[in-house]
Structure 1
């Protein structure tokens, strides 16, 4: 194991505007295509969407479909 004095961590793209969460979580129903609308695995994108929805005080409906996922943000009631 090596101890370092400094290290430049690469900037994370998560939360830096990679996805238009305000639009995606506005209550509309959106079908997103893996490899076009998001570059990670579908399960990972759904996890990111759930975290973004929770941060926005919302819930998330998600359903995997062929080639991607359909999501809708919902009020937590």
Structure 2
């Protein structure tokens, strides 16, 4: 996991992709490239792509319905 973070940090600081310090065809090199290239777990750091935890999403959805029910009598009949 630390090797993935190293790759991500290298990209953040503008280092080139071929700056990977690990030997070719090693597990560490693949992990470093995974971090550098921005793996799926890494995209969660981008604010625009964050997805809330299902429990938090459920609470937010419930609050929206409750708010709509308080504002509109039609919604409160649902």
Q: TM-score surpassing 0.5?
A: no
Larger relative contact order (Cα-Cα within 8 Å, sequence gap ≥ 6):
1
Could you say which structure has the higher strand fraction? 1
Using structure 1 for the length normalisation, give the TM-score.
0.28
Could you say which structure has the higher helix fraction? 2
Using structure 2 for the length normalisation, give the TM-score.
0.27
